[in-house]
Structure 1
Amino acid sequence: MSLTEKELIAIRRTLHQIPEIGMLEFETQAKLLEIIERLPQTYLEIKKWKTAILVHVRGANPTYTIGYRTDIDGLPVTEQTGLSYASRHAGRMHACGHDIHMTVALGILSYFAEEQPKVNLTFIFQPAEENASGGKQLYESGSLNEWMPDEIYAFHDNPGLPTGAIGCRQGTLFAGTCEIHATFLGKSGHAAFPHQANDMVVAGAQFVNQIQTIVSRNVDPIQAGVVTLGHFAAGTTGNVISGKAQIDGTIRALTQGNNELIQKRVRKIAAGVAESFDCELKLDLHQGGYYPVENNQQTTAAFIDYMKKAANVDFIETLPAMTGEDFGFLLSKIPGTMFWLGVDSPYSLHSEHFAPQEGAIIKGVSAMIGYLSERQKMFVK
């Protein structure tokens, strides 16, 4: 039988206790495999890549493949929920709800392991969404080639939506992100003799100030972009001129074009500051696989149409968000749709207090079983 709501909640609580950082999800992988291998195996094929698991469900008419992806990693956060099933891994927590994601995927898989789909299904249990572009790594490894989806789906839980509600939109759902790491190297010296030094506090401050003009003077005002510098480290004490400034931040934009535009301006400003202060610059802009999550028009139209009409679904059309997700890389290669699943929590994603409502699990499973059952009819001749 398909996994019941009671069984799914128990699975979620087990997974919640064993969060692991990206590419180190060994215990999580073992637990997922244990559950998957207990399902009927008639239609299933399973393979691993590093800490990822790929499960192929053979369709009765295997002319088309629909993919479903879940991320499996946790965050370096110390849990403060007080739950009886809180994390057992010190300094690690499923603070982004990937335990919910995995559990919903297992619920959907358990249904189709028993009820053979009309087309192929590929379930992707993907590592390292939070820290190492796991989706990009997996795709580029070639491990997915044999079972490559023709279209693909995934969700992220949303603490701001009612429990079990489905949220989605056409176009961009999440921003593309890019890390900024800038180091300015000058010459330290005595505070009383500034002419004998090259002050990197001043250079860094100029970089910070000039960065603020990028979005306001380079990005189309009716589009969106964010440049945030959240870390500035320089110097050791007040009477010593610092010869080094380290500045770190992030770029967020709803299109890849704007993300690349902002990156270009950051490079030019950083180079200009280094030139004007006659100092050395080390600049690393790292985007990896964190592209904008741009939903495909056709798959998203079908998804929204189904969810609006489904009697057991509370559908909400949502606005784009500046959060990042490496599913954007997969969507740049495979047409598909990402959506929200409401979990109604007063605490935000990544909070040490984040505790999603477990009632969302069965609603998410039910909605996606319904959608995938309907969607596959499109491709059976």
Structure 2
Amino acid sequence: MTLTEPELIKIRRHLHQIPELALQETQTQAYLKQVIATLPQTYLTVHEDPRLQTALLVRVAGADPQRTIGYRADIDALPVTEPTTVAFRSQHPGVMHACGHDLHATVALGILSYFADHQPKDNLVFFFQPAEESQSGGKLAYDLGLFSGDYQVDEFYGLHDNPTLPTGTIGCRLGTLFAGTTEVNLTVHGKSGHAAFPQQATDAVVIAAALILQLQTIISRDIDPTRCGVITLGKVNAGTIRNVIAGTARIEGTIRGLTQDMLLRIRQRVSEVAAGIGAAYNATIDVDFTQGGYYPVENDPALTQRFITYMQHEPTVTYQETRPAMTGEDFGYLLAKIPGTMFWLGVDSPGALHTAEFQPHEAAIMAGSTRFVAF
């Protein structure tokens, strides 16, 4: 039986009360299995993998399959304290669905419930994914081979809620929807010394300052101004006391770009600049990059054009072309391996994503489910 709007809202509110961090989503997975068990089972196969314990795959057998269509919904939460007094507020202190993954999972259940009751022509695979916010759950699943055999996916779809779009609005674009992200850590190795004798030391603080300023010129002078990139160095640690010259300094930051090629270009220049600054100041600078699965979300041209064309011409849908966002999403790794499309679902929240004030309008749940089912 297809889940009704009141049933979906009840499910979302229960999920909202049990938020769990990356790779800890045991209660969430158990509840998802409980809901799925209430659906007709004729066409369904539920699969778990002990190597990624909180992931859940559900296959819907098609009547005359020519392909397998994947649908991904992330299920983890964020280390955010929820201040609201609503009856369904988080019951886990310091953890909240501040990015709306409770809503993502509920929309997926709405879609799944329809096709459990109405056998599709093609096979469907629903991937309830752990660890999107950290730990690169999509990459973990792909690299472990979860999308093989009966669960091999030919094209993948997924949504992200958007607090700035009116409730139920579908947003999408050709090309990149979300930027890719890479963490960067830089460690400056100089030589400590007495504050009164700088000639006997190699001041890591001065070197770090020069490095930070020079790295900011990469975006303004090494990158095509018609394209987008960001370098943000958000954390700096150096020194122990005011009258001792620091021998080491550590800088932590993030790099963002709209294509993987852009990210690789920025990374190359960061390494080159660090080497140059190190040579100029007679110091060594270690550079460490960590990207994991947070590749740019680059939508497949043909599949995305088909999706957009449908949404533009469907009279019940309000469609809006959106600009690229510099936020990260690990669905980008899956789209780098399997063609597909990510789109926005408007939820008209008074608060932004990743804040304690994020409150999506629940009318978006049924809107997202029914519009994707129709597509």
- Tell me which interval the TM-score lies in, with the shorter structure as reference length: over 0.9
Q: Report how far residue 195 of structure 1 moved.
A: 2.2
User: Which is worse superposed, 19-28 or 80-89?
Assistant: 80-89
Q: Contact conserved, 1:72 with 1:99, CA < 8 A, in 2? A: yes
Deviations 1:12-35 (A, max 9, x none): 111111111111111111111111
Q: What's the counterpart of residue 13 of structure 1?
A: 13
Q: Secondary structure at the match of 2:273?
A: helix
AA matched with 2:190:
G
Q: What's the counterpart of residue 32 of structure 1?
A: 32
Q: Contact conserved, 1:226 with 1:252, CA < 8 A, in 2? A: yes
Deviations 1:55-90 (A, max 9, x none): 000000122111100111111112223332111112
Q: Contact conserved, 1:236 with 1:242, CA < 8 A, in 2? A: yes
Q: Distance in 2 between matches of 1:223 and 1:176?
A: 13
2:105 to 87, 99, 102: 102
RMSD between superposed Cα atoms in Å: 1.2
1:144 to 144, 147, 165: 147
Tell me: CA distance 1:82–1:192, structure 2 relative to 1, closer, same or farther (3 Å): farther
Q: What's the counterpart of residue 198 of structure 2?
A: 194
Q: Distance in 2 between matches of 1:211 and 1:34?
A: 51
1:56 aligns to 2:78 (yes or no): no
Deviations 1:77-125 (A, max 9, x none): 1222333211111221111111110000001001101110011000001
1:350 aligns to 2:354 (yes or no): yes
AA matched with 1:41:
Q
Q: How many residues align?
A: 371
User: Which is worse superposed, 332-341 or 240-249?
Assistant: 240-249
Q: Distance in 2 between matches of 1:154 and 1:82?
A: 31
Q: Distance in 2 between matches of 1:55 and 1:272?
A: 52
Q: Secondary structure at the match of 2:218?
A: helix
Q: What's the counterpart of residue 92 of structure 2?
A: 89
Q: Distance in 2 between matches of 1:242 and 1:90?
A: 39
Q: What's the counterpart of residue 80 of structure 1?
A: 83
Q: Report how far residue 250 of structure 1 moved.
A: 0.8
Q: Contact conserved, 1:74 with 1:98, CA < 8 A, in 2? A: yes
Q: Gaps (5+ residues) in structure 2?
A: none
1:205 to 201, 205, 209: 209
Q: Distance in 2 between matches of 1:81 and 1:149?
A: 40
1:170 aligns to 2:174 (yes or no): yes
Q: Gaps (5+ residues) in structure 1?
A: 372-381
Q: Secondary structure at the match of 1:274?
A: helix
AA matched with 1:236:
T
Q: Secondary structure at the match of 2:104?
A: helix
Q: Report how far residue 148 of structure 1 moved.
A: 1.3
Q: What's the counterpart of residue 229 of structure 2?
A: 225
Q: Secondary structure at the match of 1:51?
A: strand
Q: Secondary structure at the match of 1:123?
A: strand
Q: What's the counterpart of residue 257 of structure 2?
A: 253
Q: What's the counterpart of residue 134 of structure 1?
A: 137
1:327 aligns to 2:331 (yes or no): yes
Q: Report how far residue 190 of structure 1 moved.
A: 2.4
Q: Distance in 1 between matches of 2:47 and 2:271?
A: 42
Q: Report how far residue 136 of structure 1 moved.
A: 0.9
Q: Secondary structure at the match of 1:52?
A: strand
1:282 aligns to 2:286 (yes or no): yes
Q: Secondary structure at the match of 1:299?
A: helix
Q: Report how far residue 237 of structure 1 moved.
A: 2.9
AA matched with 1:18:
I
Q: Report how far residue 189 of structure 1 moved.
A: 2.7
Q: Contact conserved, 1:61 with 1:119, CA < 8 A, in 2? A: yes
Q: Distance in 1 between matches of 2:20 and 2:203?
A: 41
Q: Contact conserved, 1:81 with 1:355, CA < 8 A, in 2? A: no
AA matched with 1:67:
G
Q: Report the TM-score when normalising by structure 1.
A: 0.95
AA matched with 2:19:
P
Q: Distance in 2 between matches of 1:292 and 1:143?
A: 21
AA matched with 2:338:
I
1:341 aligns to 2:360 (yes or no): no
Q: What's the counterpart of residue 377 of structure 1?
A: none
Q: What's the counterpart of residue 128 of structure 2?
A: 125
Q: Secondary structure at the match of 1:221?
A: coil
1:4 aligns to 2:7 (yes or no): no
Q: Distance in 2 between matches of 1:241 and 1:61?
A: 72
Q: Distance in 2 between matches of 1:38 and 1:243?
A: 63
User: Which is worse superposed, 74-83 or 343-352?
Assistant: 74-83
Deviating 4+ runs (over 4 angstroms): none
AA matched with 2:159:
F
Q: Report how far residue 290 of structure 1 moved.
A: 1.0
AA matched with 2:78:
L
Deviations 1:271-315 (A, max 9, x none): 222223333333211111111111111111111111112222111
User: Which is worse superposed, 240-249 or 274-283?
Assistant: 274-283
1:116 aligns to 2:107 (yes or no): no
